[in-house]
Amino acid sequence: MPTGRVKWFNNAKGYGFVLAECADEDLFVHYSSIQMNGYRTLRAGQEVTFDIQQGPKGLHAVNVRTTEDEDYDSGATADDSQDAVPDSPESGDDANDADPESDGDDS
């Protein structure tokens, strides 16, 4: 199965191009040819494997799969992002307690 890298992919339009290691021209890729769970998208520079098919205007990459172990997952989950945010006071009442330099006197 040929390999290559994503040149660019437009999520809004649902297509992009792959630079194939075995072809002299860029290969058109449509989102419907991406084999992954969930939202089917690619990012520039991502390594992919695919089959090549002749289309009406040139070569197409079909059966496109990422070479990564995961299906285009950043690795972060909603729970992880909450853990990364430090706790902060919910009201301004404790503002002076947070600053050890403050003696509470505004003069």
pLDDT digits (tens, 9 = 90+) for 21-55: 988 889 999 999 999 999 999 999 999 999 999 99
Residue type, 78: A
CA torsion through residues 22, 24, 26, 27, sign: negative
Which domains does the chain show, CATH number per domain? 3-51 (2.40.50.140)
Q: Phi and psi (nearest 5°) for 84?
A: -80, -15
> Is residue 83 within a helix (H) or strand (E), and if so which, with residue range?
helix 78-84
pTM beyond 0.85: no
By DSSP bridging, strand 15-20 and strand 27-30 are: antiparallel
